[in-house]
Structure 1
Amino acid sequence: MLFLIALIIAAFVAFCLDKPLKKCPAAFYITAAVLTIASIVILQSDIRITSRFVRDYVLGIFSRGAMGTAFWALVMWAGAFPNGSAPIKKLMPIRGELSITAAILTFSHIITYGMQYITNLINGRTGSDFVITSIVCLVMVLIMTPLTVMSVKKIRKKMNAKTWKKIQRLAYIFYALIYVHILVLFLPKAQKGREGYFLNIIVYSAVFVGYAVMRIRKYYLANKKPEKKLVPNAISACAFALPVAFVGIFAHNTDVKPSEPSIVTEEKAGTFTFSPETTAVTGTAVTTAKDSKKSSETTAVTDKSEKTTTSEAVTTAEKKEKTEKSDSTGEEHGEEHNSEEPAQEQNEEAQPANEPEVTYKYRNGEYEAEAEGYAGKVHVKLSIENDSITSISAWADDDDPEYFNDAMNTVIPQIGAKVSADGIDACSGATYSSNGIIDAARKALEQAMN
C-alpha cells in the first residue's frame, strides 16, 4: 500500500510537473533534501509519534524507502517504454532530474536504517537477513552515489559520451539489487502473514519483473526487427506472469489461522520471571517479648527468603522457651500458675494488636494491558505479589519479532527491578516497540494500584 501511494505521487510529479522540474530542478532537489532531513531528525530524536498514520504514511513513506524506490521505478521504466510512446516522451527529458531526486529521497532510508544496523552490529544482533541485507545495501550505495553525481548536467557534459554510457549500465545491477533487497526483507514477513507484505511483494514484483521483461523485449525488437510482434509479445507476457505468480505463491502465508489468534499470540509471548530478592524492601514492625518484660523494637525486614526464615526460627525458639518455663512454674506453684495463666494468655492475645498493618502499593494478582507498538498493538501481562513483580509476559501483533525481542530484553528487566514503568531506558533501534511495552506495563500497574 505504501509503495502504491508513493508511485502515484512520483507519477504525478513526473507527468504533471515535468516542465517545472526541467526548468528549475534545484527547487525539487531542495524539497527532497528537506523532507529527507526532516524524516531522519524526527525518527532519530526522542520525539514520540503516537499516530500510526503519521509514522507510516507521512514519515514512513520516506524512511522506509518507498518514495525513493517509486522515483527509481520511473527512471527505470523511462528506458523500457517503446520508442516514440507518450510515456517515454514525458520521462526521457527529465530522467536525469528524476534520478537525482530519487537518490536524495533514498538517503532517508539509507541513513535511518543504516544507523539501526550499525547499532545492532555493535550490540551483537545479527538476524538471518542481517548479513545479506548489509552487503546488498553497501553495494547499492557504492553504485548509486557515483551514478547520481554523473547525472548532474555539468559533470555529464565534461565526460566522454561512450564512457558515461558504459558506467551508467551499472544501473541495471542497482535495479536488480533493489528487488533482491525487498525480497530478502519482505518474504519472511509475508510468509508469516504480516499484514500488507504480501501485497507489497506482488506490486514490487510487477514493477521490477515487468521492467526487466519490457527492457529485454525492447532490445530484441530493436536488434531483430521481427515483422510480427505476436510471438515476442506472448513470450513477454509469459515471462512476466510466471515469475510474479511464482513469487506470489512462495510469499503466500501457508499457516492455518486459528479462530482466536490472540490466544496463539499469547502462547508465543516472551515471559520473564523475577525472584523476590530482586525487588524492593518492605518495612514492617515486629514486637518481641523476653521473660516477663515486653519490649517493642521496629526493624526493617527485607523480603529475602533467608532473613525471613531466620526471624521465624527465632520467634519459634522464644515461644518454645516460654512454654517450657511456664510448664515448670506450673508444676512447682500449682494454683499460682493457674491464676497467672489467663493474664499471660491475654497478653499474648493482645500482642498482635500492637503490630501495625502492612500496606501495599499494588494489589496481588495478574494484570494485562495493551499499547501501540511499531506496527500494531503490544500486549503485556504481569503478576504481582506483595509489591513485587514475579513475572512479565509481552507479545506483539505485528512488530518485527527480532526488534521486539531486543526491546523486551532491554525494557522488561528494568520494569521488573523497579516495579515501575517510569524512568525506563528504551532499546536503541527498537524505540517504538520499547515504548509500547513500557506504556502497556504502565497501564497494567495502574490497574493493580490500591
Structure 2
Amino acid sequence: MLLIIALVIASLFVYFLKDKLKQYPNIFYIGAAVVTIVIFSLRTVAMPQFVRQNIVGIFAKGTIGTAFFIIVMITGALPRGSKLIGPLMRIRGELSIMAAILVLSHNLTYGMTYFKMLFSAPAALPAAQRCAAVISLILIVLMIGLTVISFPAVRKKMNPKKWKQIQRSAYVFYGLLYVHIMLINIPYARMGLHMYAVNVLVYSIVFAGYAAMRIRKWVLTKNPDADSIFIKKVSVAVSVCAVLVCTVAFSMCFMRNGNKVSAQETAADKTLSQTQTEKGVKKNGEAGTTATASNADGVTQEQQISGESGDSAGESQEVQENENAQDGENAAAAAVENTAGEENGQGKQDADSQNSGSSGATSDSGNDTNSSAGGSSGSDSGSAGQTAEERTEAAPKPTEAPRTFKADGDYTGTAVCDTYGYTVTVVVTISGDAVTGVSASATAGGADEMFFSQANAKVPGAILANGGVSGVDGVSGATKSSNAIKAAYTSAYQSAKN
C-alpha cells in the first residue's frame, strides 16, 4: 500500500528534518522541484515494473505529495493543547508548498494523457476518468493559489483577514482531492483489482477521519463552554458519519452492473461459438474435398480420409464409393483375365485338334504347342492377376493434410507496450489445427492498467473472431495497449506455426 509507505516517509521527514525545513526552506523546494522534473522525465524510460510501480510510482502517482498534504490537513484538525500541534504548525506552510511541488509530478505525468484526451477526445474517456480529469484541473488552480499565498513574503503583504478567507478554500481542495481519488480507484476495484479496493478504504479512513476531527474541533470552538456530555455526543455523531462514509465508499468498489456484464459476456460467447462453428464447417469442407480428390488413388487412402471426417453418413457413402472403385478395378482385371483365358482356350483347342488327328510326332509337337499355349495362358493369367494385386498394393499410402500449426496446445507471446513500458502476454490456444482461444494479461498498473483493461475487453475477442490481427482496430483511448496485445498475439501465433 503506497499511501501507508508514503505516510511513513513523510512522518520521518517531518520528525528528523522539521528544523532544517524551517531554516532552509528554499533548498527543500528546489530539491522537490528537481524530483518532480526527474520523475516526469522518466515517464518514457523503460525500467523494471517493480521500480516503476513502487519507487517512481510513489512520486508519479502523487502519493508522496498527498502524504504531505495529509499531514498539513491533520495538523489543522488536531485538538487544542495537543503536543503535536505546536511543532507542526511552525512548518505547516513549508510542508504545503513542498506537497504542491511534489504533486505536480503526478499532474504532469498523467496530464500528458488525460488532459490531452479531455480536450481533444473527451468521449474516449470513461465518465469517471473524465470527471476526475475535470476535478484535477480545478485542484491545480486551487493548489497554485494556496501555494502562492503560503510563501511568507506574499503572506506579509496580504490583509490577514483576506488571507484567512482564501485559505478556507483549502477545505474545498481537500474534499475535491478525496473525490478525485475515489473516481480513479473505484473503477479499478470494480474490475476485481482488490488492491484498489484497499486504497479506497484507506483513503476513506484518512479523509473521513480528518473531516470528523475538523468538524468536532469547529463545533467545540463555537461552544467553548460545552459540557462533557455534549462533547461526547458530538464525537459519536462525527464518528458515525465517518464510518458511514467509509462503508459507502468501500461498498461501491463491489457494485457491478450485472445485466450489462451478462449481456457483454453473452455477446462474447456467441461470437466465439459462431467463430468455432465457421472454422469447423470450413475444416469439414476441406476434408470432404480431399476425400473426393483421392477417390481415384485407392481404397485405403479414401477410407483413411473418410475416417477423419467424423461424419457417419459421409463415411458410409465414401466407403460405398470405395467399394464401387474396387469393383471397377476388379472388373478391369477380370477383363484382362478373360482376354488371356480366351487366347489360352483357343490355343488349347487347336492343340487338341492336332493331337487327335496327327501322328505321335505331330502329337508331340501338338503337346509342345499345348504346353506352350498353356504356359502362355498361365503366364498371361498370372500376369493379369498380379497386375490387379500390384495396383491395389501400390495405391498411395494415406497422407495427412498439411497442418498450419505444429501441434495443439497453448502458445505464449509477449510484447512491450510502447511508451509506457509494461509487458503484455498473450496465450493462443490451438485445437484441431485452428486457433480456438486468445487471452491476454499484462504487468500494467495505475492508469496503464485501466487502458490495458479497456483494450483487453475487446481486442482478443476481435482477433479470435477475425482470424488474426488484420482488420482489428485498436480501442479508442487505449491504442498503445491494443497494439501491444496484437503484437504479443503475432509473436504467439508465429511460435505455434510449423
| Higher mean displacement: 10-19 or 78-87 | 78-87
Q: Distance in 2 between matches of 1:103 and 1:41?
A: 18
- For residues 1-35 of structure 1, give each alpha carbon's deviation from its aligned partner in whole angstroms, at most 9, with x where no partner exists: 32122112112222321111112223322333333
Q: Distance in 1 between matches of 2:290 and 2:405?
A: 25
Q: Distance in 2 between matches of 1:190 and 1:412?
A: 23
Matching residue's letter, 1:25: P
Q: Distance in 2 between matches of 1:119 and 1:362?
A: 46
- For residues 235-275 of structure 1, give each alpha carbon's deviation from its aligned partner in whole angstroms, at most 9, with x where no partner exists: 1342123332442255248979xxxxxxxxxx999788596
Q: Give matches, 1:360-439, under 5 Å.
A: 362-366=406-410, 381-385=427-431, 388-394=434-440, 403-407=452-456, 409-410=458-459
1:64 matched to 2:64: no
Superposed displacement of residue 72, structure 1: 0.8
Number of aligned pairs? 407
- For residues 56-85 of structure 1, give each alpha carbon's deviation from its aligned partner in whole angstroms, at most 9, with x where no partner exists: 431222222221111111122222223453
Other-structure match for 1:295: none
Distance 1:357 1:436, change over 3 A: closer
Judge conservation of contact 1:411–1:434 (CA < 8 Å) in 2.
no
Tell me the secondary structure at the aligned position of residue 86 of structure 1: coil
- For residues 146-196 of structure 1, give each alpha carbon's deviation from its aligned partner in whole angstroms, at most 9, with x where no partner exists: 222332333334444433333222211110001112233334555676433
Instruction: Select the structure of larger CA radius of gyration.
Output: 2
Other-structure match for 2:199: 200
Superposed displacement of residue 96, structure 1: 1.9
Matching residue's letter, 2:150: S
Q: Distance in 1 between matches of 2:136 and 2:163?
A: 23
1:44 matched to 2:44: yes
Judge conservation of contact 1:99–1:148 (CA < 8 Å) in 2.
yes
Tell me the secondary structure at the aligned position of residue 82 of structure 1: coil
Other-structure match for 1:175: 174
Tell me the secondary structure at the aligned position of residue 428 of structure 2: strand
| Higher mean displacement: 177-186 or 212-221 | 212-221
Distance 1:13 1:36, change over 3 A: same
Q: Distance in 2 between matches of 1:80 and 1:11?
A: 17
Matching residue's letter, 1:106: V
More strand per residue: 1
Tell me the secondary structure at the aligned position of residue 129 of structure 1: helix
Other-structure match for 2:143: 144
Judge conservation of contact 2:428–2:435 (CA < 8 Å) in 1.
yes
Distance 1:193 1:385, change over 3 A: closer
1:315 matched to 2:293: yes
Judge conservation of contact 1:404–1:430 (CA < 8 Å) in 2.
no
Distance 1:268 1:396, change over 3 A: farther
Distance 1:197 1:325, change over 3 A: closer
Judge conservation of contact 2:100–2:143 (CA < 8 Å) in 1.
yes
In structure 1, list runs of 5 or more residues that go unmatched. 257-266, 280-303
1:91 matched to 2:92: no
- For residues 294-353 of structure 1, give each alpha carbon's deviation from its aligned partner in whole angstroms, at most 9, with x where no partner exists: xxxxxxxxxx87995897498369779x97997997797664698568547746864646
Q: Distance in 1 between matches of 2:296 and 2:102?
A: 79
Matching residue's letter, 1:29: Y
Distance 1:194 1:358, change over 3 A: closer
Distance 1:247 1:39, change over 3 A: same
Tell me the secondary structure at the aligned position of residue 151 of structure 1: coil
Matching residue's letter, 1:85: S
Distance 1:108 1:15, change over 3 A: same
Judge conservation of contact 2:185–2:200 (CA < 8 Å) in 1.
yes
Matching residue's letter, 1:9: I
Name the TM-score, length of structure 1 as normaliser.
0.68
Find 1:109's aligned residue among 106, 111, 114.
106
Tell me the secondary structure at the aligned position of residue 77 of structure 2: coil
Tell me the secondary structure at the aligned position of residue 124 of structure 2: coil
Distance 1:20 1:270, change over 3 A: farther
Tell me the secondary structure at the aligned position of residue 79 of structure 1: helix
Superposed displacement of residue 144, structure 1: 1.3
Other-structure match for 1:247: 246
Q: Distance in 2 between matches of 1:48 and 1:383?
A: 30
Tell me the secondary structure at the aligned position of residue 126 of structure 2: coil
Other-structure match for 2:29: 29
Superposed displacement of residue 408, structure 1: 5.5
Distance 1:123 1:184, change over 3 A: closer
Distance 1:4 1:372, change over 3 A: farther
Judge conservation of contact 1:381–1:444 (CA < 8 Å) in 2.
no
Superposed displacement of residue 198, structure 1: 4.2
Superposed displacement of residue 95, structure 1: 1.7
Tell me the secondary structure at the aligned position of residue 196 of structure 1: helix
| Higher mean displacement: 32-41 or 8-17 | 32-41
Other-structure match for 2:211: 212
Other-structure match for 2:126: 127
Name the TM-score, length of structure 2 as normaliser.
0.62
Q: Distance in 1 between matches of 2:497 and 2:283?
A: 25
Distance 1:387 1:227, change over 3 A: closer
Judge conservation of contact 2:428–2:489 (CA < 8 Å) in 1.
no
Q: Distance in 2 between matches of 1:426 and 1:191?
A: 20
Distance 1:179 1:433, change over 3 A: farther
Other-structure match for 2:234: 235
Tell me the secondary structure at the aligned position of residue 140 of structure 1: helix
In structure 2, list runs of 5 or more residues that go unmatched. 256-264, 298-320, 341-380
Q: Distance in 2 between matches of 1:342 and 1:144?
A: 101
Judge conservation of contact 2:77–2:217 (CA < 8 Å) in 1.
yes
| Higher mean displacement: 134-143 or 110-119 | 110-119
**Identity score, percent:** 32
Judge conservation of contact 1:362–1:445 (CA < 8 Å) in 2.
no
Distance 1:268 1:186, change over 3 A: farther
Q: Distance in 1 between matches of 2:156 and 2:134?
A: 33
Other-structure match for 1:100: 97
Distance 1:220 1:371, change over 3 A: same
Distance 1:120 1:445, change over 3 A: farther
Distance 1:340 1:275, change over 3 A: farther
Tell me the secondary structure at the aligned position of residue 225 of structure 2: coil
Matching residue's letter, 1:35: V
Q: Distance in 2 between matches of 1:146 and 1:201?
A: 28
